[in-house]
Structure 1
Amino acid sequence: MKRVPVSNGFPMIRGAVMGPIVRALDAAAADCDALLAEFGLSRRQLSDPYEIVPLGRYVGAFERAAQVLDEPGLGLRLGNELQLTEMGPAGLVFMSSPTLGAAIRKFTDALASWQSGTLVDLVRDNAWPMWSYRIAHASIWPRRQDAEYSMSAMCHMIRQVYGASWMPVEVHFEHAAPADIKPYMRIFRVPVRFQQPANGVVLHPHDLDAPLKSADTQLARMMERHATDLIKRDTVPHDLVDQVRDLVTRRLAREKLVVADIARDLGLSNRSLQRHLSEAGTSVREIIREERQRSVAVLREQDGMTNAAVARAVGYADATVLWRATRNWGRAD
């Protein structure tokens, strides 16, 4: 099984994937803003579909939304309502590929532009090919909603391009079976197996050669190129210090920077993160200070930037707090 190397660092996902969850919460008149805030997210942040969101926060918000809506099968339902365009270039590559097999393979490769920290592959070790999906980080748990959304979405995508009557051979989930499995039967219409090594959709071998009416070679090439460009643009360095620096830079003005949150987003414990940074001769606090200093220096060179605007851009409440911080920086230097 291959890892989808959507980034070389912390596990991430594009903000667009939160769209169905936000719509479900709004449709039920739930307090969506409070739920997003609970996981360090906001509508403003998610208004950009390409925004990078830590995978763990997305998974946690999905689980919490199912609880708030009292809908254990939320992931199943939303996956079955997915619009291919919400998967970015991966969805459009899927739709425009010449055969179902090519669609699944190209989708799996292009998914690297949309999320990371996952093990995804089209496995053909035996007579029955299986599209397999699993989050690589064991610490991101529970993750039932994401798993069920992914399997439901894949089946829904296949039916959109192959025909509504299509059915898989069976569907696998890594988590335990819930008390009520009727929703699974309504969505998949085939046997569903739980507590499996990975989540997966098992297909008939002949399905892979099926031609797709939605095939568009030119669009497929364009979307593959777009996905490749996104992967290159948002690649995160292997070096842990640079990964922390990247996280800090991305969210400097949008949220309170907490060491425990940064450690969680990197898939590490608080203690482990601080130990590794200490061995590298730095700390989260030092990195935040350096990035704020760098940002302030750049912003102050721009015409029309007031001290209040600069302060907000680096996560300070007002110009007075920024002034105090700059004095402390001078003493530290």
Structure 2
Amino acid sequence: MDNAHQHSSTADVTVVASAAHGLGEFIALQGGDPDSVFGNAGLNPELLADPTLRLPLTGFCGAFEEGSRQTRNDNFGLDFGRQFKPANIGLLGYIALSSPTLGDAFCAMSRLFAGHQQNTLMRLCDEGSVCRLEYQILHCAIAHKRQDAEMTLAAFTNLARHALGSRWAPEQVLFEHQRPEGWHKHSKFFDAPVLYGQTRNAMIFKRSCLERPMPDKDALLLQLLSATIQRNMPTIESKASLVDSVRREIQQALDHQDLNLKLIAGRLNLTSWTLQRRLNDLNMTFTSLVDDVRWNIACNKLAQSSLPISELAVQLGFSEVSAFSRAFSRTHGMSPRQWRQSRPAWSPL
């Protein structure tokens, strides 16, 4: 993937400004300077004034990492998420609150999340007696996203507790990043085992929880809000949904010997020609999406874990570590080992 493509896609990936509701005030309460945090993260604070505007996702994630650094609060994202109310999410939050049950709320959010926050996976998986609510930023330009992950899973927990009571706890919580120093605070808030260094962020809970009615369910309001969000974001949602679906299937098939367009199209119940045409309409190629997924995983693992490069190469579908190193060097201008050694704790991208 060339630099021009990477910079263009970085600028185009956005999140609705309501996701940062109250962030400036929270930074100040933590003893930080909001203008300095937003400036260093490359985020225009004027965009935060209107919850319907869109923020660059790199700047959004960067503001949480920079906020943690400047306030010296290693659990900055978790603390922000703990006080983040479902309604603060904006239209998506009100749709969840107006849904008949918690299951309907999570399903609606999963279906519409691509329009709320692009290049991001949110998925509810039924695994029998338990369900898994997964969350993962897929964009390869964002290597540091721990604070965002902890904020988001805390916000999801708050939505569940809105329906199930303040003492409700999931069965397990998973994070991509390695265990931080202040991990005891995570265990206390979630009141559940928390595992780190996982393949994606997730909250696992009993399937029966999905049947609980939402306290503020409102069929008419839900209908009005659903119509509004579908009118306002149909193009964004459909584009993001297709691309995110392709990325998700590629990620799950990375170690497949025959990873190709036909395989992924089949998993999406599409013909190869249809998928290729739809990607062409979005000025994208299947090969570029495979590269995006591989480099997203590679950069995330290199930045946040001590996984040996030889094992990472196998996970990404390379038969030899030398082939992985050559491909990585062509894209990033340095070897995987050099890239890992050159990364600071956080820097705005």
The TM-score normalised by the length of structure 1 is 0.66
Find the partner of 2:195 among 179, 189, 193: 193
Find the partner of 2:82 among 71, 80, 83: 80
Secondary structure of residue in 2 paired with 1:215: coil
Q: Distance in 2 between matches of 1:211 and 1:39?
A: 40
Q: Distance in 2 between matches of 1:75 and 1:109?
A: 24
Q: Please name the residue that 2:234 is paired with.
A: 232
Gaps of 5+ in 2: 1-8, 240-280, 285-329, 332-349
Deviations 1:236-264 (A, max 9, x none): 78237xxxxxxxxxxxxxxxxxxxxxxxx
What is the Cα deviation at residue 20 of structure 1? 3.1
Please give the residue correspondences for 1:132-143 in structure 2 after superposition, counting only pairs within 5 Å: 132-143=134-145
1:238 maps to amino acid? L
Please give the residue correspondences for 1:171-320 in structure 2 after superposition, counting only pairs within 5 Å: 171-232=173-234, 234=236, 238-239=282-283
Q: Distance in 1 between matches of 2:189 and 2:81?
A: 10
User: Is the radius of gyration larger for structure 1 or structure 2?
Assistant: 1
Q: Please name the residue that 2:115 is paired with.
A: 113
Q: Distance in 1 between matches of 2:236 and 2:217?
A: 28
> What is the aligned length?
236
Secondary structure of residue in 1 paired with 2:130: coil
Sort the Cα spacing of 1:109 and 1:44 in 2 relative to 1 into closer, same or farther, 3 A: same
The 8 Å contact of residues 173 and 194 in structure 1, kept in 2 or not, is answered as: yes
User: Mean alpha-carbon deviation: is it higher for 84-93 or for 186-195?
Assistant: 84-93
Secondary structure of residue in 2 paired with 1:133: strand
What is the Cα deviation at residue 168 of structure 1? 0.7
2:149 maps to amino acid? A
User: Mean alpha-carbon deviation: is it higher for 227-236 or for 209-218?
Assistant: 227-236
Find the partner of 2:22 among 20, 39, 44: 20
Q: Distance in 1 between matches of 2:197 and 2:42?
A: 31
Deviations 1:14-42 (A, max 9, x none): 12222332111222452211221223323
The TM-score normalised by the length of structure 2 is 0.63
The 8 Å contact of residues 39 and 60 in structure 1, kept in 2 or not, is answered as: yes
| Greater helix content | 2
RMSD: 2.3
Gaps of 5+ in 1: 1-6, 241-270, 273-333
Sort the Cα spacing of 1:210 and 1:180 in 2 relative to 1 into closer, same or farther, 3 A: same
Secondary structure of residue in 1 paired with 2:78: helix
Q: Distance in 2 between matches of 1:195 and 1:29?
A: 30
What is the Cα deviation at residue 232 of structure 1? 2.1
Q: Percent of pairs identical after alignment?
A: 26
What is the Cα deviation at residue 141 of structure 1? 1.2
